[in-house]
Structure 1
Amino acid sequence: MSAAVAPVREVAHKLALLRAALDQQDAGAIRLRGVDWFAWLTAGGSNAVLLALETGVAELLVTRAEACVLTDEIEAARLRAEEVPPGFSFHVAPWEQRAQGGALGDALGDDYVREAAANRPVLSDRPREGEAPLPPALRLHRLVLSAPEQERYRALGLAAAQAMTEAISQARPDWSELDLAAEGARALWRRGIEPALLLAAGERRLPLFRHPLPTSEAIGSRAMLVFCARRHGLYANLTRYVCFGPAPRQEQADLMAVEATGLAALKPGNSLSAAYHALAQAYRHVGREGAIREHHQGGITGYRAREIMATDASATELETGMAFAFNPGFEGIKIEDTFLLGQSGLENLTCDPAWPATEVQGRMRPLWLEAR
């Protein structure tokens, strides 16, 4: 299948799902505002300009007869040429309307949406006044990634892991945390990957904070770098460490044992909470019972860094095609990769063969890089 045909077929399948939801809910239109849903429906396109926002410079409006991009005249040409596959119409408003109205939806005018929906209910991923939320079944369907999505994810995961290796291998003890984060961002952008989140901490701050935004402080004898790396709307999540001296081998071994227990529970038919309870039991086994309360353990990933977080009450049933990013940890150390649940088990999407690793219960897991 050609590269041009593949997205069109993927989009057609997803439009059929949305239109089935319209019939089931007796609604007139579905309005998608989020960066996540825009990427999902357009087979990896992006409506993001300001990366800090969950919504972008365009929306998608789906009715039984049409799939339409709602945007302004600043963005329309670029979106047509670079982000949106064939088959979508465009409703383009003057940019002044957005400047006057503020929000994109206000700028484009609710009258257009109401007319397209034939005055029937409008469903939305981020509903505003008078709109209804998307049905839960549609949200759950997004978690099960199709074959083309999985291929995009594999390419992203490898590229993000290679960017991590490139960045952290250059670190030196006199680098600041900001230097390390900047090198990570550079390595990601060079590969066309958005650094949606970059955390970096050195020797002093590692044991103090679980979400250490980088500072001007020198990293010293060890450092952590964390990526939530986005491309085509999908997130590759991974954490790596570098040390200038011996690595904490016992802590690594204990943490890998905890993680292995949680990963072993990621099987079709299990609930997400089963993995959480497996992790809780593993923490107790290594004498770290309280660690599970110090930070979230991760969960299902995909078009959000965490689509659904694992908790003791997460009833979501696991299915083949879902992706996961768990990040169990102790004080000053954690472990994280992005995995795809395939027909033959878990596939590590963020594995760079060049990174030092050890086998844990049949799976290669990353060690700390011991720099010289």
Structure 2
Amino acid sequence: MNRLEEVQVKLQRVRHLIEQRQLSGLLLKTQPNFSWLTAGGLNSVGIATELGVTSILVTPDGLYLIANTIEAPRAMKEEGLGELGFTLLTFDWYENRELQLVREIVGDGSVGCDVAVSGLLHIADDVAKLRYELTEGEVDRYLFLGTKVSTAIENTLMEVKPGDSEAEVIGRLCAELWKDRIDAVGYQSAADERAYLYRHPIPTMRRVDKYLMLCINARYKGLVTSITRLVHFGQPASELLRQFRHNLEIECAMIAKTRVGRPMREPLLTAIEMYEQLGYAGEWKLHHQGGAMGYYARDIRVTPTTQDLVGKNQAFCWNPSISGTKTEDAFIATPDGPKMITGPVVYPAVTVESNGFEFKRPGMLVL
């Protein structure tokens, strides 16, 4: 599937939604939805916002890029939107004519939007569901991203030394990712006791003594994956190794239980039972356990009452944690079982069997 074919598949989904909701058009303004519909295009300049600097308008028979005079030339040329069939609607940078241009195309009809805009119908949840089933091209991009991220985080941790700060380790990891135009959209780094104290340990200048947990959400052409790895200097305590193994077993059980057509809550309910059976009752309440992902780090944070079903070729990442340990690798739920996105590359591998599947998982690196 080439890029144009992928865009056409997605336009069919969008136009079906337009027909279902009896709309005259759909306006997409967020960075994730731009990347999704354009099969990997980027409309971001600033990173501290969900909104893109250009918008897409889809009608039953039209496809438009709405951009000011600053963004229009690059978007049409470097993002290849002309070749993908987009018609450019442009305005001067010192004006705000986006909605006027929309109305010139669709008239007084109802228009949906992926963000709240006065006069438009906010249907972000409906749009999100269009993204869930990955195309062939998206699967290929995800596997590329997963290999690069797995390699980058493990190579970075292989080079960590006691005395390095949490922040500088993150900096080295980001530098590795940027070699492939992969950007970090979230990161955590926890040295020693911080790994036990906080579930979201944003990086500080705390220096590593014996133990480091490193996590990152990394984005490539809009798709986001998550990963966590651990390194210990010197032989870890047997209790820590036992806990880490239990953490892996919980995650593998969750992956194995993520079956197409089944409720997303089933893997979580399985995990809750295992937490209790293994002696960690209540730990699951200290942090969300993950869920569906794609153009966001988590499209759905699954809870015990989530009603959504696992979709075909939908990406997931579970992240069970016990105070001091966390395991986290991403995968795609397929009719034949899980296809791993991330996994061990240079780290020691651990084999875990769960519900008829054999998983090759990263162990804890000991230096």
TM-score after normalising by structure 2: 0.94
Name the residue aligned to 2:89.
Answer: 91
Structure 1 stretches of 4+ with a deviation exceeding 6 A read none
Q: CA deviation at 1:352?
A: 3.8
8 A Cα contact 2:166 2:191, kept in partner: yes
RMSD, aligned CA: 1.4
Q: CA deviation at 1:65?
A: 2.5
Q: State the shift of 1:136 in Å.
A: 5.0
Q: How does 1:1-372 map to 2 (within 5 A)?
A: 6-85=2-81, 86=83, 87-97=85-95, 107-134=96-123, 136=125, 138-247=127-236, 248-361=240-353, 362-371=358-367
1:222-242 Cα offsets, whole Å, 9 max, x none, are: 101111000111011100011
Compute the displacement of 1:344 (Å). Answer: 2.2
Q: Secondary structure at the match of 1:96?
A: coil
What SS class does the counterpart of residue 89 from structure 2 fall into? Answer: strand
Structure 2 gaps of 5+ residues are: none
Quote the Cα distance in structure 2 between the aligned partners of 1:109 and 1:307. 28
The one-letter code of the counterpart of 1:51 is I
SS at match of 1:90: strand
What whole-Å deviation, never above 9, does each CA across 1:83-130 have from its counterpart, x for those lacking one?
A: 244211111221222xxxxxxxxx233221122122101101113112
CA, structure 1 residues 165+108, in 2 after alignment: closer, same or farther (shift >3 Å)?
farther
Contact map agreement 2:344 2:361 (CA 8 A) in 1:
no
1:60, 1:68 within 8 Å by CA — same for their partners in 2?
A: yes
Between 1:291-300 and 1:264-273, the stretch displaced more is 264-273
What is the CA–CA distance in structure 2 between the aligned matches of 1:63 and 1:333, rounded to whole Å? 49
Deviations along 1:146-189, whole A, 9 cap, x unmatched?
Answer: 11111111111111111112211111111001111111111111
Distance (whole Å) between structure 2 residues aligned to residue 305 and residue 161 of structure 1: 16
Deviations 1:274-313 (A, max 9, x none): 1111111111111111011000000001111000111011
Are the aligned partners of 1:124 and 1:132 in contact in 2 as well (CA < 8 Å)? Answer: yes
Do 1:323 and 1:341's aligned partners in 2 also have CA atoms closer than 8 Å? yes
- Provide the C-alpha distance between the structure 2 equivalents of 1:354 and 1:345, rounded to a whole number of angstroms: 25
Amino acid corresponding to residue 27 of structure 2 in structure 1: R
> Is the partner of 1:198 in helix, strand or coil?
strand
The count of aligned residue pairs is 358
Give, in whole Å, the separation in 2 of the partners of 1:246 and 1:52. Answer: 41
In 2, are the aligned partners of 1:340 and 1:347 still within 8 Å (CA)? yes
